[in-house]
Amino acid sequence: MSDSQFTCPECQSDHVVKNGKIHNGKQNFKCRECGGQFVQDPQNKIID
């Protein structure tokens, strides 16, 4: 199992690159297929 492979929630492409970190230290990614940005946060799956 690899935790370094992420997929875009918009287009499900794995063609994503790291795009720095956001204010709370979460890793931000950018999709090279659709250009969308998303944050991978496996420790906070539940949103209030």
Report, in Å, the least distance between residue 35 CB and Zn ion.
7
C-beta of 36 vs 40, nearer to Zn ion: 36
Q: Which whole-number Å values give the CA distances from 44 to 19, 20, 47, in the listed order? A: 19, 19, 7
Q: Measure the N-to-C terminal CA separation of the chain; round to a whole number of Å.
A: 29
C-beta of 17 vs 46, nearer to Zn ion: 17
C-beta of 5 vs 25, nearer to Zn ion: 5
Grouping H, G, I as helix, E, B as strand and the rest as coil, residue 31 is strand
Site residues for Zn ion per CB under 5 A: 8, 10-11, 13, 31, 33-34, 36
